[in-house]
Structure 1
Amino acid sequence: MATSQHYIWAGGHFVLLASALRIFLSWITFGSPSSWWYKAGFLGALTSYAIVCHKSLGTPQPNAAWVKKALLDENVQYFILAFFWFTSKPVTIAILPYAIFSLFHALTFARTTLMPQFLPPGPPATAGGPPTPPPLAKKLQVWVKANYDRAMSVVAYAEILIFVRVILGAITFQNSLLSPLIYGHFLRQRYYQSAFTRHALAHADAQVTGLTTRPGIPPVVGQVWQRIRGLVGTWGGSVLQAPATPNAGAARR
């Protein structure tokens, strides 16, 4: 049975989803999304991630072992990043990965908690057996499983685009110079922890390398790109690798 904490966790995801939807609708209609929705979305993210982090790590402990464990936890990393976005000048696209995570969590919450309360159950699987979940809940479960890996790939590519955005934003003074450094460190952690991120970065690297070595492109462009690759590889601790097949994992966010 869902606890009040579980409902608060889900509420954070629903708030984030509603805020992201309002922002994306503004984009589609060529409007200017209000920073209020941006702040509300990340406040929802902070609420949900705080609960997950507490359940995973317990009460914060004033010792190096706990801090090291926390910093290596993916949910803590997303929580810290959400706090950075919440307190910084809005970078609207930054809410996209969180919105995708929240979509899947909200759908799962609706399937496992809300639908059994409001929809009639399905027929028993066997004569005299217990009723099955509502038919809509089963269809939703199939959809979530079928689209999870694809959604995580979209998140990985979106996070690369966000990194490009904050680099350009720092150059044009649209966001702080600190943003690329913080987000670059976050993306480095994602590279080591997520097969989806490794695959997306390798694919992006191959595409850019191919473009810079096409006939007619000045050789200096390819040389600059190779220099950038070398610097990124040195900073990241390893060279960019060939694409790997992402493996699905259970999202706890």
Structure 2
Amino acid sequence: MATSQHYIWAGGHFLLLASALRIFLSWVTFGSPSSWWYKASFSGALLSYAIVCMKSLGTPQLNIAYAKRCLVDENVQYFALAIFWWTSKPVTIALVPYAIFSLFHALTFARTTLMPQLLPPGPPATAGGPPTPPPLAKRLQVWVKANYDRAMSVVAYAEILIFVRVLLGAITFQNSLLSPLIVAHFLRQRYHQSAFTRHAVANVDAQLSQLARRPGIPPVVDQVWQRARGLISGWAGSVLQAPPAAPAGAGAGAARR
């Protein structure tokens, strides 16, 4: 039975999705939505993530052990980043990872909570057995399971693009100089915690290394890139490697968000 807290959590995801859709539609049609929609999107994210963080970590405590748990918790990291985006100048692409997470959570909430209440159940699997979930719910479950890994890969690449966007934005004074530092630290955490992020980073590294060595490219470009990737690798605390296969069916991370 869903609790009121569960409905509030879902409400945050639906708010984020609706507001993000409004922004993306304006973006595609070269419009300029007001910052109100941007703040509404991240307000939904903050609401949902606050509930998840409270449930996973419990009541905030002023001690080192609790602080350490917060620092390594993925939901706390996304919650903290959402606070930063909420207080910063709008960066539309920053909504992409949150919108993808919210889409999967909203669909799961609709399947497990709303559809059983609103749609007739399916026929029993066996004679005299209990009714099965509504057919639409079962089809939705299959779609979510089939597309989860692909969506998480999109999130990983989107987060790399976000860093590129805010780095260029800092150089051209379109966003604060703090933005690329915040996103870089966030990406470092994701690299160590997410196989999808490691796979995306390794792919991007391989593509850039190949590009730097292409015939006709001055050798100094490859030298500069190798020095840069060495610095990045040292700062990240691990060596960039060839992309491993993304895990199939890994769903624990986003399922909690």
TM bucket normalised to smaller: over 0.9
Q: Does 1:11 align with 2:11?
A: yes
Distance 1:33 1:104 in 2: 25
Distance 2:236 2:100 in 1: 26
Q: Does 1:237 align with 2:241?
A: no
Task: Look up the match of 1:252.
Answer: 256
Moved more, 87-96 or 133-142: 87-96
Moved more, 224-233 or 103-112: 224-233
Distance 1:73 1:129 in 2: 41
Task: Look up the match of 1:172.
Answer: 172
Distance 2:181 2:28 in 1: 30
> Partner letter of residue 10 of structure 2?
A
> Partner letter of residue 184 of structure 1?
A
Task: Look up the match of 1:43.
Answer: 43
**Following TM superposition, by how much is the alpha carbon of 1:40 offset from its aligned partner in structure 2, in angstroms?**
0.2
Distance 2:62 2:186 in 1: 23
> Partner letter of residue 100 of structure 1?
I
Distance 1:127 1:15 in 2: 42
**Following TM superposition, by how much is the alpha carbon of 1:138 offset from its aligned partner in structure 2, in angstroms?**
0.1
**Following TM superposition, by how much is the alpha carbon of 1:249 offset from its aligned partner in structure 2, in angstroms?**
2.5
Distance 2:233 2:33 in 1: 37
**Following TM superposition, by how much is the alpha carbon of 1:227 offset from its aligned partner in structure 2, in angstroms?**
1.3
Distance 1:159 1:92 in 2: 12
Distance 1:42 1:120 in 2: 35
Matches within 5 A, 1:1-253: 1-247=1-247, 248-250=250-252, 251-253=255-257
Distance 1:242 1:8 in 2: 42
Distance 1:227 1:41 in 2: 39
Q: What SS class does the counterpart of residue 256 from structure 2 fall into?
A: coil
Distance 1:91 1:27 in 2: 11
**Following TM superposition, by how much is the alpha carbon of 1:146 offset from its aligned partner in structure 2, in angstroms?**
0.2
**Following TM superposition, by how much is the alpha carbon of 1:3 offset from its aligned partner in structure 2, in angstroms?**
0.4
Which consecutive aligned stretches of 4+ in structure 1 deviate over 6 angstroms post-superposition? none
Q: What SS class does the counterpart of residue 131 from structure 1 fall into?
A: coil
Root-mean-square deviation (CA), in Å?
Answer: 0.6
Moved more, 22-31 or 138-147: 22-31
Distance 1:63 1:136 in 2: 47
> Normalization by structure 2: what TM-score?
0.97
Q: What SS class does the counterpart of residue 245 from structure 1 fall into?
A: coil
**Following TM superposition, by how much is the alpha carbon of 1:28 offset from its aligned partner in structure 2, in angstroms?**
1.2
Give the paired residue count: 253
Q: Give unmatched runs, 5+ long, in structure 2.
A: none
Moved more, 134-143 or 25-34: 25-34
- Contact 2:148–2:251 (Cα < 8 Å) also in 1: no
Distance 2:246 2:81 in 1: 23
Distance 1:196 1:243 in 2: 10
Distance 1:127 1:249 in 2: 33
Distance 2:240 2:167 in 1: 19
**Following TM superposition, by how much is the alpha carbon of 1:101 offset from its aligned partner in structure 2, in angstroms?**
0.2
**Following TM superposition, by how much is the alpha carbon of 1:32 offset from its aligned partner in structure 2, in angstroms?**
1.2
Distance 1:165 1:33 in 2: 19
Distance 2:196 2:179 in 1: 23
> Normalization by structure 1: what TM-score?
0.99
Distance 2:69 2:91 in 1: 29
Identity across the alignment (%): 83
Distance 2:251 2:116 in 1: 26
**Following TM superposition, by how much is the alpha carbon of 1:244 offset from its aligned partner in structure 2, in angstroms?**
1.1
